[in-house]
DNA sequence: GAGCGAAATACGGCATTGCCGTATATATGA
DNA sequence: TCATATATACGGCAATGCCGTATTTCGCTC
């Protein structure tokens, strides 16, 4: 373990360069940043409770997100994005149950 | 606080009866049960790492789910269901970023 | 069959969220 | 004004998210 950490740093820098040059794929293609839960819900015209019920969230989670007390997990951010952009597809997928 | 707990139990039973009779809506319309992550991923033909990268999960979460070490959150279960049934819609929604 | 690399399994461990419950505030309509 | 629906605020425990790494299994070539 002489210069293993330095090696790792160099490898990391090389990877960043590769990704930026398009020679490699980033670890996570879709990196969901912060989502505006209230805005997304607002577009659906639903109350917090109804929104949670329709899309399988717990009401508590939606509350915490809109109050900015908690940040939605990566999975939740992705789902919220899909709800925002393809709401009918989400409803179709959930209706089957 | 004499019989407040008994009251609550009775109210709960009444609510269950209402829901089963169709007179009331359950707290969560879509209740995503257990999902078979490996099966869903298998249908996509992706490795754990690629699956995670494509849909915004962390590789660690996918690993934990498939090893049945952790159970995916409600949001993740819903997203996995949507991925299974409307994969193109999910890709479309995520491509915009 | 041996050897190799990719993929998956297994697990320790801390930070963070999920989720529940309840009290308070803020509309909105009768 | 009163009542109801909706949203805000927050304490608190259990559970997952996520990272790191060691080990095992799988698929392939030689």
The model's pLDDT over A61-71, given as tens digits with 9 standing for 90+, comes to 999 999 999 99
Q: Which residue has the higher pLDDT, A72 or A26?
A: A72
Phi-psi region of A58 (alpha: psi -120 to 50; beta: other; left: phi over 0): beta
Q: Which of residues 32-91 of B touch A (CB under 8 A)?
A: 32, 52-59, 61, 72-79, 81-82, 84-86, 89-90
pLDDT tens string for chain B (97 positions)?
333 334 444 444 454 544 444 444 444 456 677 899 999 999 999 999 999 999 999 999 999 999 999 999 999 999 999 999 999 999 999 987 6
Note the pLDDT of residue B34: 87
Is A37-95 a CATH 1.10.260.40 domain? yes
Chain A hits for B57, CB-CB cut-off 8 Å, are 74-75, 78
Which run of H or E residues covers position A1?
A: none
Considering only the C-alpha atoms of chain A, give the largest distance between any 2 of them, rounded to a whole number of Å.
60
Measured distance CA(B90)–CA(B87) in Å, rounded: 5
Measured distance CA(A93)–CA(A96) in Å, rounded: 6
CA of B56 vs C1' of D6, distance in Å? Answer: 33
Q: How far is A19 from chain B (nearest CA, A)?
A: 14
Domain ranges of chain A: 1-27, 37-95
């Amino acid at each position: 373990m002489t210069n293993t950490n330095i090696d790792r740093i160099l490898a990391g820098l090389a990877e960043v360069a590769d990704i930026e040059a398009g020679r490699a794929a980033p670890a996570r293609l879709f990196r969901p940043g912060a989502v505006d839960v209230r805005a997304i819900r607002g577009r659906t015209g639903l109350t917090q409770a109804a929104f949670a019920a329709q899309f399988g969230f717990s009401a508590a989670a939606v509350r915490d997100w809109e109050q900015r007390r908690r940040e939605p997990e990566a999975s939740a951010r992705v789902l919220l994005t899909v709800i925002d952009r393809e709401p009918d597809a989400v409803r179709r997928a959930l209706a089957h149950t």
